[in-house]
Amino acid sequence: MRILGIETSCDETAAAVVDDGRNVRSSVVSSQVVLHARYGGVVPEIASRAHVELVNEVIEQALVEAGVTLHDIDAVAAAHGPGLAGALLVGVSAAKAIALTLKCPYLGVNHHEAHIYAALIDDPTLEPPFVTLVVSGGHTLLIAMDDHGRYRVLGRTVDDAAGEAFDKVARFLGLGYPGGPAIDRVATGGDAGAIAFPRPMLDDGNDFSFSGLKTAVVVYVRKHPQANVADVAASFQAAVVDVLVTKLLRVADQTGLGTLVIGGGVAANSALRRRLLDEGTNMGLRVVLPSVGLCTDNAAMVAAVACWRLAADGPTSLSAGAYPALGLD
Ligand code: KG4
Ligand code: ZN
């Protein structure tokens, strides 16, 4: 089953060709970061227009890199939610148009679910059940994946997503956009123990809150304008990582599930990966960290999950649309 996947839910225009849900023949990601950087965040209208301009070229490149033509494709998939409405519609429309032309199945897939399946691409031995943390710019979700297509959301953010907090703090510190990679980089030269930022809701259930932590950074820096930026970045990052890892390990304990999987852009964070691997392994848990390129938005994960969804549920109707607020459960 050879699937062409398309991803346009936010500010990455991506296409990939994946065989049988795991064998990535090509994965092309065209980032719009330079277009949004001067605004300090993604501008939805700019994102939609850029997707329109880029999508055909990116699909073409994915086919060329895979060494195939459209006629070698068995099904076409696009992330149809959650995400920015206008941005999602570009990928969905492109995928439907190709499916109509080729008379092959179209699949609209869940972007969160795709982030989880990124781990299955990298580790062919990985199978549910497992506990997974999907941490991106828009979401922070703790999920028990009981089987393919069966999810229980056990925790979510009550305000800002973890990635959003990284982006906002980086912007405040003048580190640029996107903020996560910038903080990750700067933090390597800082002392993570320098400032004791709060660990919001650490012992308060499985939900998350990052808005107060962001404010704590702002308040601290205004009070200490000479503070070392690397120390602030490292201390902020340590607080986020502490909360994410503590809650993920706790849920593993609560559910009795012995495998931990992370996904989404923040799963690329070096401190999070290091700490989870150390602590999880020490607790006798299996820790699966997808490669960094599969954590941030890409279309290989879209094609991967589409392969499973097609086998389980069949194609998506061409009359289905885009679903900006799509959930997982
Ligand atoms: O999954 P993703 O690429 O797009 C969404 O679905 O939102 O996640 C993007 C988010 C951004 O907030 C970005 O700052 C964050 O992931 N991110 C990181 C790192 N790389 C990307 N956050 C922390 N450390 C990183 N290395
Ligand atoms: Zn994402």
Distance CA 11, CA 324 (A): 14
* Length reported for the chain: 329
Whether 28 and 136 share a structural domain: no
Which structural domain, as residue segments, surrounds residue 40?
2-116+295-313
Mean pLDDT of 111-129: 96
328: in domain = no
275: in domain = yes
Q: List phi, psi (to 5°) of 203.
A: -110, 25
Mean pLDDT of 99-109: 98
Distance CA 265, CA 295 (A): 5
Cα R_g (the chain), whole angstroms: 20
User: pLDDT, tens digit, for every residue of 2-46?
Assistant: 999 999 999 999 999 999 999 999 999 999 888 888 888 889 999
Whether 94 and 135 share a structural domain: no
- Domain at 237, CATH number: 3.30.420.40
Find the 242 Cα to ligand 1 centroid distance in Å: 17
Whether 135 and 262 share a structural domain: yes
Whether 147 and 76 share a structural domain: no
Per-chain mean pLDDT for the chain = 97
Residue pair 177/190 in contact by the 8 Å Cβ criterion: no
Whether 144 and 87 share a structural domain: no
User: pLDDT, tens digit, for every residue of 251-309?
Assistant: 999 999 999 999 999 999 999 999 999 999 999 999 999 999 999 999 999 999 999 99
Question: In this predicted structure, what is the pLDDT of residue 329?
Answer: 74
Question: In this predicted structure, what is the pLDDT of residue 30?
Answer: 96
**277's tokens:** 């691997």
Residue 108, ligand 1, Cβ within 6 A: no
What is the number of structural domains in the chain?
2
Residue 266, ligand 1, Cβ within 6 A: yes
Residue type, 131: V
Whether 145 and 228 share a structural domain: yes
Whether 189 and 223 share a structural domain: yes
213: in domain = yes
326: in domain = no
Residue 190, ligand 1, Cβ within 6 A: no
Mutate to test the pocket of ligand 1, among 167, 296, 328 (most ligand atoms within 8 A of CB): 296
Distance CA 133, CA 58 (A): 29
Q: How many CB atoms lie within 10 A of CB 282?
A: 9
Whether 215 and 299 share a structural domain: no
Q: To 10 degrees, the CA torsion angle through 198, 200, 205, 207?
A: -150
Whether 162 and 87 share a structural domain: no
Please compute, for residue 184, the number of CA atoms within 13 A of its CA located in the half-sphere on the CB side: 19
Whether 98 and 223 share a structural domain: no
* Distance (Å) of CA 97 to CA 50, 83, 86: 19, 20, 17
Mean pLDDT of 223-250: 98
Whether 108 and 41 share a structural domain: yes
Model pTM score:
0.96
